[in-house]
Amino acid sequence: MKRFIQAIFILGFLAFAACTPKSAKYFAQAEIQYKQAEYQHAIENYQQSLSEGGDVAQCNYYIAECYRRSNRIQQAEPYYRKAIEAGVKDEEAHFFYANALKSVGNYEGAATQYKQYIKTGSNFDYINRAKKELENLKALEEIVAKPTYYKIENLSALNTPEAEYAPFFFKDKLYFTTSRDAEKMHSATGTGFTNIYEFIFDGVEKFSGQAMPLPDNLNTEGAHEASCVITKDGKTMIFARGNSGAKKGPTDVDLYKTTMGSDGKWTDPVMLAISDADAWDACPALSLDEKTLFFASNREGEGALGNVDIYKATLDEKGEWSNPVNVGAPINTRGNDMYPCVNKDGVFYFSSDGHPSLGSLDIFYIKNEGGKLSIENIGKPINTSYDDFGLVWKDSLDGYFASNRVDDGAKGDDDIYFVKNTYWDRTAKYIVDGTSFGRSKADPKYILPGATVYLFNEAGDTLQTTVADANGKFQFTVEPDKKYFLVSHMDKYFSHIKEEWEPFTIASVPFKDLKIGENEIKKSAEVILVKREKIVFVRNILYDYDKWNIREDAAKELDVIVELMQANPDILIELGSHTDERGSADYNRVLSQKRAQSAVDYIVAHGIAKERITAKGYGEDDPAIKGAKTEEDHQANRRTTFKVLNNFNDELQIKSH
């Protein structure tokens, strides 16, 4: 990331005790470039000094410092390590090395270096920052563990191997900062000067479109332009310009304003009066009512807390921005706090390396719970150990941010990523997770592959059909809070009857109890098919003494037979009725025939062809309990049984409960 930070630090010339003339020459040249913030050129000369026998500790330390000061902290890490291993005398090396280790995700190593600096360092500010970083590192476990609501995707159609960052979405266009197509390189970073582009989505493919630079009066040669924000009416743009590296002109970065003319073109920009000529002022953002301008600055005084703080200015009666003030703690820290943004819901976002972060810059937001405000790390996958910054929102769910991470489809340097808030994508998938079983005389329950299983709704309509797999497993996707039935079929098996497939419902799960993404809410179910052997079903079809009318409890049992015959249209049955042993045999035979016929009439009345049913009165010839003496035993004998007449092999009795 090639952002605009104050770069000139006054350093004394360091003499080498034992070095060759060539190494001393390269080192001296590097020192001059270092003081002038020409960090990329300085790196090259420090490396040349090393190759000619220069001081290993000093050369590596200043190479690391060049990378750090040009905001390439990850690249600085190995050089800090080499400098410390070589015995560098600069005590800040441990502090900056700790920051570099954190930026590459080596949190344990970072903690060790922070502790080392606290013991041996003398810079009071750095000691306090090291202590704060140790506290921050303890919070990382909680940050990493927190549930994530976001999905990210690299905007590969927009990004290049050069830098792309500071996105801003306005009227279907994505404005961004890039160093692509630069003709002149910046001496501090060795990369091109940045310009502001607009990306017009064409809708042909996801995120496809065309990137075009803004007009030449906005993008000037040999200077950085970056980080624009546009008012809702599209008539005003505020952006950052400066840091040309030239000896004449503005010494740092300032905020500029341009307006849309009647000809549809942007006017020549003018510097905002709130800019500080000696400071880096950038990252403009507007409040929802557009009466407050937020920006980042490393200006001194005015309540400054850290390296870069966030400030705000108000729109006065003349329409000018005035009275910039530091927004203060808890937003600003001793570190760098920048890239403010207010989304359409009024939530304030910003980037910081001073709050508990995963590495370098992380994205944070202000959380408001019942009036209680807190600073929250937005977490993974948006934040990484690298720089993650500049989040803006297109709407309440979709947004864009920049990162110099090396994975997630990165194309090089800073890339822009699309982010989707999936908090409201808490979808639930309700699944019937079933198993098909068979039943036979030899085995009352076994896995039955290949059974066809039907899902019926409450009205009896077939909704879905599937076949059980080799493990007897099957699944259906259903809707919550609705009634369903399962019916199964297989050759050489009877379909199960209603007694074994009561209606079921899967209760809906409250939104708050769902996890982000797809949730599978499963309900176990079974279907059972009975092997076609010679089957005699004995049911509780009972009668009152000397009666043949169908009682309410008997009707329920006959309904089961109706279901069985509907599910198995090829079977023929016999209904056999019995009496108790009281009364004459002839009378009981006539009574039992009437009972059998009343049962047949009931089943026929419910849609079963009478040709499929035979009525048989057995009288008292086949009592369930011989020599019955109690009324309970007599009741057990007054019954109707049925049996399947189709000719199958073995006999299996299934008694009702």
Q: Where are the domains of the chain?
A: 21-145, 150-421, 426-531, 534-655
Work out the pLDDT band at 14, boundaries 50, 70, 90: very low
Q: Tell whether the model's pLDDT for residue 11 goes beyond 70.
A: no
Mean pLDDT, residues 238-258: 77
Higher-confidence residue of 157 and 221: namely 157
Q: Is the pLDDT of residue 189 over 70?
A: no
Look at residue 652 and tell me whether its pLDDT is greater than 60. Answer: no
Q: Which of 392-396, 604-608, 615-619, 645-649 has the lowest mean pLDDT?
A: 645-649
Q: Mean pLDDT over all residues of the chain?
A: 85
User: pLDDT class for 633, splitting at 50, 70, 90?
Assistant: confident
Residue 424 has pLDDT above 50, yes or no: yes
Pairing of strands 337-342, 415-421: unpaired
pTM check: above 0.75: no
Cα–Cα dist 327/283, whole Å: 14
Query: What is the reported pLDDT for 156?
Result: 92
Whole-angstrom CA distances from 383 to 67, 356, 363, 369, 422 are 22, 11, 7, 23, 16
Res 452: pLDDT:
94
pLDDT tens digits, residue range 288-301?
999 999 999 999 87
Is the pLDDT assigned to residue 238 strictly greater than 90? yes
Q: Summarize pLDDT for 539-575 with one digit per residue, the tens.
A: 556 656 666 677 777 787 788 788 778 877 778 888 8
CATH of domain 21-145: 1.25.40.10
Name the architecture of domain 534-655: 2-Layer Sandwich (3.30)
The pair of three-digit structure tokens given for residue 21, joined into one six-digit string: 């003339």
What mean pLDDT comes out for the span 242-264?
78
Condensed to tens digits (0 to 9), the pLDDT of residues 224-236 reads: 899 999 999 999 9
Q: In this prediction, what percent of the chain has a pLDDT beyond 70?
A: 89
- Model confidence at 356: pLDDT above 60: yes
Q: Is the pLDDT reported for residue 207 higher than 50?
A: yes
> 449-499: per-residue pLDDT in tens?
999 999 988 887 889 999 999 999 999 999 999 999 898 888 888 776 544
**DSSP codes, 430-451:** EEEEEEEEEE-SS-S-EE-TT-
**CATH architecture under which domain 150-421 falls:** 6 Propeller (2.120)
Banded model confidence at residue 528, pLDDT cuts 50, 70, 90: confident
> Has residue 250 got a pLDDT over 60?
no
Q: Is the pLDDT of residue 86 over 50?
A: yes
Question: Which is more confident, 187 or 290?
Answer: 290
- Mean pLDDT over residues 146-174, rounded? 92
pLDDT, position 272: 96
What DSSP line would sit under 220-274, residue for residue? -TTSEEEEEEE-TTS-EEEEEEE----SSS-SSEEEEEEEB-TTS-BPPPEE-TT
More confident residue, 593 or 545: 593
Q: Over range 316-344, report the average pLDDT.
A: 92
Average pLDDT value for residue range 335-343: 94
Q: What distance in Å separates the CA atoms of residue 397 and residue 402, rounded to the nearest whole number?
A: 17
**Could you tell me the pLDDT band of residue 588, with boundaries at 50, 70 and 90?**
confident
The residue to which tokens 């499929």 are assigned: 612
The burial of 607, by beta-carbon neighbours within 10 Å (0-12 exposed, 13-18 middle, 19 or more buried), is given as exposed
Q: Is 207 exposed, middle or buried (0-12, 13-18, 19+ CB in 10 A)?
A: middle
pLDDT of residue 531: 81
pLDDT score of 545 = 63
Decide if domain 426-531 falls under CATH 2.60.40.420. Answer: no
Tokens 């191997």 correspond to 161
How many CB atoms are located within 10 Å of the residue 398 CB?
Answer: 12
Binned at pLDDT 50, 70 and 90, residue 534 comes out as low
Q: Examine the pLDDT at 392 and tell me if it is beyond 60.
A: yes
**Three-state secondary-structure class, residue 147:** coil
Give the residues across from 416 on adjacent strands.
402
